[in-house]
Structure 1
Amino acid sequence: MEEEIEMTARPRTDRDLEQIVSWIPDADALFLFSGTRLSWPLTEAGLRDLTHTAGLVAFGVVDARGDLVGHFDLAVEGGCARLGRVIVDPARRGRGRGYARGLLRVAGEQAGRLGAEVVRLNVVTTNEPAIRAYRRAGFTVVADGSNRPDVTVMECSFRPATDPASAISEREDRFRAVRAAELDLLDPATRADAQRVGALLHPDFVEIGRSGRRWKRAETIAALAEEQGFVTPQTDDWQFGDVAGGAVLVTYRIVGPEASSRHASLWDVTGTTPVLRYHQGTVLPEQ
């Protein structure tokens, strides 16, 4: 019986890359990790460049102590999430240890947050340990790889997680998680990292800016990545409230040297971590 491992997915950072690359010791391991998408020797820059592909979101998986134990990426289109670059720290692998199953569980949760109802993946046909792990996690073979004999296609259908055991269920925990996520989006390092911002924004995210302009998700990610000179602002007057349908409404004030503004955000908290659904800012009149 596999041990239940507490694991969480978070946006992958550049600080993770060295450790992930160290898990892939040779060209054969690289082929199992990425097929022909990457070349040996694998470098941090090569992995970073691949996962800067439009629409691809990369995640690091951490355990209860915050140690990096795995990695995966997702690309969602038409309700289907393509799961790729799946790897567990080699030191934590082995039947009965639960790390592979835990990683696939949190990958499914992240796919649901990004709007997917099905997770699909390609696995090298000769990689029998991986195929067994996917089967134990609920994946089934949906194509025999007749066009590519070296590849087996598998998928798993699921409902986005709303079980209290995996969702943010306690009121104070929800509010703390939302505040931390909101502050993360006010961090210059986060705003410059399209992967991290993308993981924090709902697929249908909309913002009404202080100028009145309406911003969609892709526009927001691109604008923040190109932003220059942003400094983490001073904030105060934080207020939180639960909204029907698994959401939290948060309002707060940004206090600036020249002008202040009032902000309101609606966060979806049905998954293991919040995602921002809507944001609006309004410049306050001078006092």
Structure 2
Amino acid sequence: MMKADYLEESLLRQLEERLLQPDVRKSAKDIIDLLADEFIEIGSSGRVFDKQQIIESLQNEPIEPLIQRSITEFKTLVLATGVILVIYRIVRHISGEQPVHSLRSSIWKLNNDRWKMIFHQGTLVRE
């Protein structure tokens, strides 16, 4: 297996960063556009969510302007033609608190010339 080419990797990073933006997270339309119908997420709590549950959860997520999230250690791995695994670390910064680290993995699938996330998992890291 090999790393995605630069353009694919760059685009997938942009899509992952887009999912961190509060205005995108609150927009059901944006989330519908980014997630495949068969999307599944395993949250850091161990709970499993489908696309509709994620949309509802994000609609109810409080907007916290003092929280900043940044992506580091971004890597890709081509699983098959049009299917790419993305692995990275998110550092969540909250003013006055210790940063919270989590390891993330997503699988993106090219569908009608558009990348859609079909799987995501987040695992908290004890730093």
Given the two structures, how large is their TM-score scaled by the length of structure 1?
A: 0.39
The structure with the largest alpha-carbon Rg is: 1
Higher relative contact order structure (alpha carbons within 8 Å, sequence separation ≥ 6):
2
Q: CA deviation at 1:245?
A: 4.3
The answer to whether 1:241 aligns with 2:82 is no
Residue among 199, 203, 207 paired with 2:37: 203
Residues 242-281 of structure 1: pairs in structure 2 closer than 5 A: 242-256=78-92, 257-281=98-122
Q: Which amino acid aligns with 1:238?
A: F
Identity of aligned residues (%): 30
Coordinate RMSD, CA, aligned:
1.6
Count of equivalent residues: 117
Match of 2:95? none
Q: Report the Cα offset of residue 258 of structure 1.
A: 4.0
Q: Distance in 2 between matches of 1:222 and 1:245?
A: 32
Contact 2:40 2:118 survives alignment (8 Å) = yes
- CA distance in 2: counterparts of 1:203 and 1:259, whole angstroms: 30
Picking from 15, 23, 26, the partner of 1:181 is 15
Instruction: Give how far 1:224 is off.
Output: 0.6
The SS at the match of 2:41 is: strand
Q: What whole-Å deviation, never above 9, does each CA across 1:149-204 have from its counterpart, x for those lacking one? A: xxxxxxxxxxxxxxxxxxxxx82221111111111111101000000111100000
- Change over 3 Å in CA distance of 1:205–1:240 after alignment to 2: same
**Counterpart secondary structure, 1:228:** coil
Map 1:95-244 to 2 at 5 A.
171-230=5-64, 231-244=67-80
Q: Which residue of 2 aligns with 1:101?
A: none
SS of 2:20 mapped into structure 1: coil
CA distance in structure 2 between the aligned counterparts of 1:218 and 1:270, rounded to whole angstroms = 19
